[in-house]
């Protein structure tokens, strides 16, 4: 198939630092190429890919210092629209800007919804443009959406099995917190888990400007404890040892997380996950197999002892069974084929036959009507 992958322009594909969506787009693109498809990636010019790269900005807009990325995305969409005839499938990863521009091409478009969908500001678009075929990244993610949107499939994220290699032993024996310092990620819960269980905690996370007050007022005062170590943001290579040597990943979220890539990254390394039962978590973590699901802080503290009895090989098997890039892309290819088969079915529908309708009394012609409109 000839497939266009349309990525956000905020970060390179894959991202230089933090960037979950861009990382997933990279995994999809590279696996599609590996499987023999003809892929063009619309992304920033500093992206690295084995596909054909259509550079839409010199580099990721965040590194260029752009605050509002709307204009750049609209310019990219114009380029995609102009070249749409070159592709069998247009796969969007940029939320909703493409909906009105590509309404007449819904038969060849797919949009993966990467973020939370309970934002009231976006609902007018979802209610108006109901024809766009959508892919959710978890079943839970769908819940806030209007009932008449066009869901094509739910496809959980998957990553290349070698990205986070298997560690048969947790040599560090610490809890790991990886991601962003933000109220919905609840690093304060991770700190409480560590202190109450007497287990070291390492925090590898970045602090966005939007979360600076939360860091200053809540988290920074909590990290000055002998069991807590704040590392800061780490790169992909550092992530392997950080996750692989951890006793468990602490994932104490307090919001409807659409997916949570760090969960499958930890499971790939054989590291179990201690997670609060929110959003997509129950779809990703097999309780008692690849981690422990929690409903309270008492549950989370008790889980620190429970994960020690879990088989790290079993955690890795759970990852391999459902969350590799190969499995993810197999499901995307099936979704593409389903979309194209729907289009072919419409084309094959029998054409209506028409009867000649006499002119009206003034001699002017009247619109022809399908034969079915006239009784036999």
Consecutive 10-residue averages of pLDDT for the chain (376 residues): 97 85 97 98 97 97 89 97 98 96 96 94 95 97 95 97 92 94 96 98 92 96 96 90 97 95 97 97 97 98 97 97 97 97 64 44 41 36
Residue 217 DSSP label? I
Q: How far apart are CA 285 and CA 260, in angstroms?
A: 11
Give residue 209's pLDDT: 87
Q: How far apart are CA 96 and CA 103, in angstroms?
A: 11
Q: How far apart are CA 309 and CA 112, in angstroms?
A: 37
Give residue 346's pLDDT: 57
> Residue 193 has which token pair?
């888990």
Q: How many CA atoms lie within 13 A of 105 on its CB side?
A: 23
Q: How far apart are CA 92 and CA 339, in angstroms?
A: 14
Q: How far apart are CA 302 and CA 93, in angstroms?
A: 39
Q: How far apart are CA 66 and CA 60, in angstroms?
A: 9
> Residue 269 has which token pair?
């390394």
User: Kind of pairing, strands 369-370 and 354-355?
Assistant: antiparallel
Give residue 342's pLDDT: 84
- Give me the long-range contacts of 147-153 (CB less than 8 A, separation at least 24): 150/106, 152/110, 152/335, 152/338, 152/339, 153/331, 153/334, 153/335, 153/338
> Residue 97 has which token pair?
């800007």
Give residue 64's pLDDT: 87
Neighbours of 116 (CB within 10 A): 15
């Amino acid at each position: 198939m000839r497939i266009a992958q349309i990525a956000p322009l905020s970060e390179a594909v894959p991202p230089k630092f933090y960037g979950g969506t861009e990382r997933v787009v990279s995994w999809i693109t590279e696996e599609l190429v590996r499987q023999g498809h003809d892929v063009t990636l619309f992304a920033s010019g500093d992206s690295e890919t084995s596909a054909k790269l259509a550079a839409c900005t010199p580099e990721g807009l965040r590194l260029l210092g752009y605050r509002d990325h709307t204009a750049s995305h609209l310019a990219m969409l114009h380029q995609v629209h102009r070249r749409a005839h070159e592709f069998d499938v247009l796969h969007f990863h940029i939320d909703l800007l493409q909906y009105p521009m590509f309404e007449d091409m819904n038969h060849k478009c797919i949009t993966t919804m990467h973020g939370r969908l309970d934002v009231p500001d976006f609902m007018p678009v979802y209610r108006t443009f109901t024809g766009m075929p959508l892919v959710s990244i978890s079943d839970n993610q769908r819940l806030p959406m209007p009932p008449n949107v066009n869901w094509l499939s739910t496809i959980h994220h998957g990553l290349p099995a070698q990205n986070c290699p298997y560690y048969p032993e947790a040599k560090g024996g610490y809890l790991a917190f990886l991601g962003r310092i933000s109220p919905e990620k609840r690093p304060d819960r991770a700190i409480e888990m560590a202190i109450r269980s007497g287990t070291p905690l390492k925090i590898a996370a970045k602090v966005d400007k939007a979360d600076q007050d939360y860091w200053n007022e809540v988290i920074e005062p909590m990290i000055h404890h002998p069991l807590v170590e704040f590392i800061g943001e780490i790169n992909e290579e550092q992530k392997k040892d950080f996750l692989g040597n951890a006793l468990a990943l602490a994932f104490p979220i307090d919001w409807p997380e659409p997916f949570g890539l760090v969960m499958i990254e930890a499971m790939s390394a054989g590291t179990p996950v201690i997670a609060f039962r929110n959003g997509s978590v129950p779809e990703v973590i097999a309780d008692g197999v690849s981690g422990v699901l929690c409903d309270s802080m008492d549950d989370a503290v008790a889980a620190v002892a429970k994960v020690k009895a879990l088989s790290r090989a079993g955690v890795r098997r759970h990852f391999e069974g459902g969350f590799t890039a190969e499995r993810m892309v197999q499901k995307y290819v099936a979704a593409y084929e389903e979309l194209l088969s729907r289009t072919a079915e419409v084309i094959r529908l029998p054409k209506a036959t028409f009867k000649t309708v006499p002119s009206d009394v003034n001699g002017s012609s009247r619109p022809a009507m399908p034969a079915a409109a006239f009784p036999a």
